[in-house]
Amino acid sequence: MKRLLLLLILCVFGFVGWVNGQQKPHIARVNGEVVKKDYQVELFPNPAFEYLNIKSSGDNFVDPAFEVVSLIGNKVRTEVVKIDDSQYRIPVRQYAAGHYILIIKDNGTLYRRAFKFQKVIR
């Protein structure tokens, strides 16, 4: 059972690591027109202590939604603070120490990506 759980965790990290490395242009449909969007998303600091900052360079999101999931698949309550059109902040101080997956979805451009981050306690 422990080996199966370890294999599952390694598969999740492998998939998320692969997704994190994929910073290619995104093909989307905006107002019925197919367009090529160039999203470069950066999470910092990683590992995070109080806040996780999300910065999008290139094209901005239209209608972003952020979801944080623990490694075992539990959704974590997420409050997102919009700093400007290209930067957001998620307070993570109340999260337990560990690894999490941040899923960013933009219904306006059909963008969807997953990123891993670590929450630490000082």
Give the tens place of pLDDT for each residue, 29-88.
556 666 666 678 999 999 999 999 999 987 778 889 999 999 999 999 999 999 998 899
Q: Encoding tokens for residue 18?
A: 């692969």
Instruction: pLDDT band for 107, please (50, 70, 90 cuts).
Output: confident
From the list 71, 54, 70, the residue with the least C-alpha distance to 106 is: 54
CATH 1.10.10.10 fits 2-119, yes or no: no
CB-CB contact of 65 with 54 (8 Å): no
49 Cβ contact list (under 8 Å, min separation 6)? 92, 93, 119, 120, 121, 122
More confident residue, 75 or 6: 75
Q: Report pLDDT for 34.
A: 64
Q: Report pLDDT for 46.
A: 96
From the list 110, 104, 67, 68, the residue with the least C-alpha distance to 86 is: 104
CB-CB contact of 41 with 103 (8 Å): no
From the list 117, 120, 104, the residue with the least C-alpha distance to 37 is: 104
Q: Report pLDDT for 63.
A: 86
For the chain, the average pLDDT equals 81
pTM above 0.75, yes or no: no
What would the pLDDT profile of 7-23 be if each residue is shown by its tens digit? 556 565 555 444 444 45
Q: Encoding tokens for residue 33?
A: 């027109």
Indicate the DSSP class of residue 92. -
